[in-house]
């Protein structure tokens, strides 16, 4: 194995008896990751259970109760490696009563394996786990269509299951989905290609796992170092923690939150005190600062121009894990977030989510075991946090019962909580299901002259020609009317995005596809619009028009770059103002993507 081979964390998902444990056993067995004594033990137990072949599922079903019942109850972790990559697999339970186990097992995964029985197709639990994988922000998903041997290795059946999942996945936020037909029992297309499915032209599962690109999944843009421990030794004073985002280097200016005091990174040390020239996630480091500051556990180091939110009110999605209590408004709990610990009060339960139908029960009054819902929380001390979509480490938390010390919920921060409304929303008589078409918002972001408007015009033309209502909200056009009162400061840009986002949401709610072509340079502003759409149950598709600044500058149809270079325009994105690209857009389009019509067709394809 290559030194420093990249680690990939996997989580299995899917309904019970679809073959998750057998698949993991097959991966371990065929990749020669089982020791001789383990294999002997496995053969012995398989014979004792009366089987006529090696029961590979027993490799992960290690607990006694699991063996007796023949199912996975707890989360079983296994490690193995190939010459190309190291792997940690979390085998999560398939039964609905162990949903909380699936959530905790998948919470740190880079990739989810959704195992589907080719005979039964997509079952309720398969849909539930796929949705939970999306909710947990797992960026890659592989649908393993298993037990192909029981459907006569049928290409048609594989295509049916694939089409069924693709229809369901249009409602999820997963950027990368792959499909592999296989038989975990016989080993076809798990580690080696299967000769009995010559119609399948893709790679076997292990090859895909070795090659899937995960380096760009890490947030290297927003520097975050939650302080876990203050190291004092003689004159040495350093701040130890795990880098949760971005890049730190000696000489960088940093700010300590929530206090807001600033300093400079004097040195960074890795394990054993090794000096480091750069630190990035998920490295464990100790940082020394140039100034003697009062920094303590729970504080966060970041860059002065790139700060997480600091506040006491957040909107969050939580999965209730407690089996002896329920979440109810008014409940007081302990909130553990990163290295911070504070008390929190549940201000309100917005809705309970049916993770199978995605129906939102706004009349729900509590969350019980395994139930998921959106809540508003008020913390007793300021919380230094990001949204979960921006950073899974600084956007997640757990809730602990104050009296029993039991972990009762896992949560993901969605957005800052709004103040208590004084205006009550009026409910219309016409529901979304009553309308003839289904709306959505397509948000095209990128630098000035990237080609957003040109592309949006063609997308609108193709949609209308196909009979689907669509309307273009172009950045320049809205500046001439709706947002004519706004300038180009960061605050005005945020308000510009907010207003356009609200209009787009109304269009989408009416059954129209809202096409927004807007530079919208700040990720936080775009994420806020996405969160508003998610809250309303409306699709939000972010398309990153990734045209390099030098190409945009060469086009420069309005002469803006030239004016910015001459100093006549201040705060121009790409010249003297930053642009924050999306971390996980639904689609990335580049200039070599085949022309405007072809690129527009790819956008239209997202809406299929």
Q: Give me the torsion for CA of 326, 379, 314, 483, rounded to 10°.
A: 150
User: For residues 100 and 94, what is the distance between their CA atoms, to the nearest angstrom?
Assistant: 11
- Please confirm, yes or no, whether 107 is among the known catalytic residues: no
User: For residues 103 and 124, what is the distance between their CA atoms, to the nearest angstrom?
Assistant: 16
DSSP state of 563: H
Residue 126 assigned as binding residue:
no
Angle at 57 between CA 56 and CA 63, to 5 degrees: 125
Q: What is the pLDDT of residue 32?
A: 80
- Single out the residue of 560, 576, 572, 581 nearest to residue 444, CA to CA: 581
Contact between 380 and 343 under an 8 Å Cβ cutoff? The reply is yes
Contact between 280 and 308 under an 8 Å Cβ cutoff? The reply is no
Residue 449 assigned as binding residue:
yes
User: Residue 599 is inside which H or E element, if any?
Assistant: helix 596-606
- Single out the residue of 254, 405, 396, 412 nearest to residue 318, CA to CA: 412
Catalytic residue among 183, 263, 376, 520: 520
Reduced to 3 states, what is the DSSP secondary structure of residue 86?
strand
Which residue ranges of the chain lie beneath pLDDT 50?
1-3, 64, 67, 420-422
Backbone angles phi, psi at 423, to 5 degrees: -110, 125
- Single out the residue of 221, 209, 127, 219 nearest to residue 176, CA to CA: 209
Single pTM value for the model: 0.62
User: For residues 388 and 309, what is the distance between their CA atoms, to the nearest angstrom?
Assistant: 12
Sign, CA dihedral 263-266-272-278, equals positive
Six-digit token pair at 6?
């990249």
Q: What is the pLDDT of residue 241?
A: 95
Contact between 320 and 401 under an 8 Å Cβ cutoff? The reply is no
User: For residues 244 and 95, what is the distance between their CA atoms, to the nearest angstrom?
Assistant: 33
Q: What is the pLDDT of residue 73?
A: 52
Sign, CA dihedral 292-297-301-307, equals negative
Write down the residue that tokens 């979440």 correspond to.
Answer: 327
First to last CA, the chain: 43
User: For residues 266 and 286, what is the distance between their CA atoms, to the nearest angstrom?
Assistant: 11
Residue 147 assigned as binding residue:
no
Residue 169 assigned as binding residue:
no
Residue 451 assigned as binding residue:
yes
Q: Label residue 340 exposed, middle or buried (CB < 10 Å: 0-12, 13-18, 19+).
A: buried
Contact between 397 and 413 under an 8 Å Cβ cutoff? The reply is yes
Residue 452 assigned as binding residue:
yes
Across the chain, mean pLDDT equals 86
Q: In this predicted model, what pLDDT tens digit does every residue of 1-28 receive, in sequence order? A: 444 567 899 888 877 777 888 888 888 8
Q: What is the pLDDT of residue 68?
A: 53
- Cβ neighbours for 461, distance < 8 A, ≥ 6 positions apart: 600
User: For residues 425 and 122, what is the distance between their CA atoms, to the nearest angstrom?
Assistant: 37
- Single out the residue of 577, 595, 596 nearest to residue 517, CA to CA: 596
Q: What is the pLDDT of residue 510?
A: 94
User: For residues 15 and 107, what is the distance between their CA atoms, to the nearest angstrom?
Assistant: 18
Question: 256-261 contacts: CB < 8 A, separation 24 or more?
Answer: 256/293, 256/295, 256/299, 256/300, 256/301, 257/299, 257/300, 257/301, 257/302, 257/307, 257/308, 257/310, 257/384, 258/299, 258/310, 258/382, 258/384, 259/294, 259/299, 261/293, 261/294
Q: Label residue 20 exposed, middle or buried (CB < 10 Å: 0-12, 13-18, 19+).
A: buried
Six-digit token pair at 93?
């339970």
Q: What is the pLDDT of residue 444?
A: 97
Contact between 330 and 345 under an 8 Å Cβ cutoff? The reply is yes
Buried-state track 105-114, b at ≥16 Cβ within 10 A, e below 16: bbbbbbbbbb
Q: What is the pLDDT of residue 1?
A: 44
């Amino acid at each position: 194995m290559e030194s420093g081979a990249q680690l990939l964390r996997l989580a299995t998902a899917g309904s019970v008896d679809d073959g998750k444990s057998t698949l993991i056993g097959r991966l371990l067995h065929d990749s020669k990751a089982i020791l001789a004594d383990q294999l002997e033990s496995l053969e012995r137990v398989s014979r004792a259970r009366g089987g006529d072949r090696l029961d590979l599922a027993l490799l992960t079903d290690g607990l006694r109760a699991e063996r007796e019942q023949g199912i996975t109850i707890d989360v079983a972790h296994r490690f193995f490696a190939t010459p190309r990559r190291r792997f940690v697999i979390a085998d999560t339970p398939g039964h609905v009563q162990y949903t909380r186990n699936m959530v905790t097992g998948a919470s740190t995964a880079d990739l989810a394996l959704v195992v589907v029985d080719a005979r039964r197709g997509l079952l309720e639990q398969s849909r539930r786990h796929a949705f939970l994988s999306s909710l947990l922000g797992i960026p890659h998903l592989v649908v393993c269509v298993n037990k192909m041997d029981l459907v006569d290795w049928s290409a048609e059946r594989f295509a049916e299951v694939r089409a069924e999942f693709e229809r369901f996945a249009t409602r999820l936020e997963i950027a990368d989905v792959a499909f592999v037909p296989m038989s975990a029992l016989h080993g076809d297309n798990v580690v080696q290609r299967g000769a009995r499915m010559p119609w399948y032209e893709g790679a076997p599962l292990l090859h895909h796992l070795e090659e899937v690109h995960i380096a760009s999944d890490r947030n290297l843009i927003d520097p975050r170092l939650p302080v876990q421990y203050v190291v004092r030794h003689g004159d040495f004073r350093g701040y130890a923690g795990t880098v949760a985002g971005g890049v730190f280097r000696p000489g960088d200016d940093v700010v300590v939150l929530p206090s807001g005091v600033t300093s400079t990174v004097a040195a960074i040390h890795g394990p054993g005190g090794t000096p480091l020239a750069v630190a990035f996630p998920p490295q464990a480091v100790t940082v020394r600062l140039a100034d003697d500051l009062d920094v303590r556990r729970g504080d966060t180091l970041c860059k002065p121009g790139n700060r997480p939110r600091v506040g006491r009110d957040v909107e969050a999605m939580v999965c209730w894990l407690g089996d002896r209590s329920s979440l109810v408004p008014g409940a007081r709990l302990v909130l553990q977030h990163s290295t911070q610990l504070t008390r929190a009060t549940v201000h309100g339960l917005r809705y309970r989510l049916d993770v199978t139908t995605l129906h939102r029960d706004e009349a729900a009054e509590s969350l019980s075991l395994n139930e998921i819902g959106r809540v508003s929380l008020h913390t007793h001390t300021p919380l230094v946090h990001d949204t979960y979509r921006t950073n899974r480490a600084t956007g997640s938390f757990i809730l602990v019962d104050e009296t029993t010390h039991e972990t009762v919920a896992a949560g993901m921060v969605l957005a800052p909580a709004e103040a208590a409304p004084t205006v009550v929303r009026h409910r219309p008589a016409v529901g979304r299901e009553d309308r003839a078409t289904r709306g959505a918002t397509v948000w095209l972001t990128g630098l000035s002259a990237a080609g957003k408007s040109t592309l949006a015009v063609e997308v609108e033309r193709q949609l209308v020609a196909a009979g689907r209502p669509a309307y273009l909200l172009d950045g320049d056009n809205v500046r001439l009317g709706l947002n004519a009162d706004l300038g180009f400061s960061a605050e005005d840009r945020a308000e510009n995005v907010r207003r356009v986002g609200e209009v787009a949401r109304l269009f989408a709610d009416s059954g129209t596809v809202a096409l927004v072509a807007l530079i919208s340079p700040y990720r936080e502003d775009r994420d806020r619009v996405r969160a508003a759409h998610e809250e309303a149950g409306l699709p939000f598709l972010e398309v990153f028009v990734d045209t390099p600044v030098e190409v945009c500058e060469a086009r420069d149809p309005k002469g803006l770059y030239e004016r910015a270079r001459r100093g006549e325009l201040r705060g121009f994105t790409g010249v003297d103002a930053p642009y924050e690209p999306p971390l996980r857009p639904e689609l990335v389009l580049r200039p070599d993507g085949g022309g405007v019509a072809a690129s527009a067709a790819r956008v239209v394809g997202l809406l299929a």
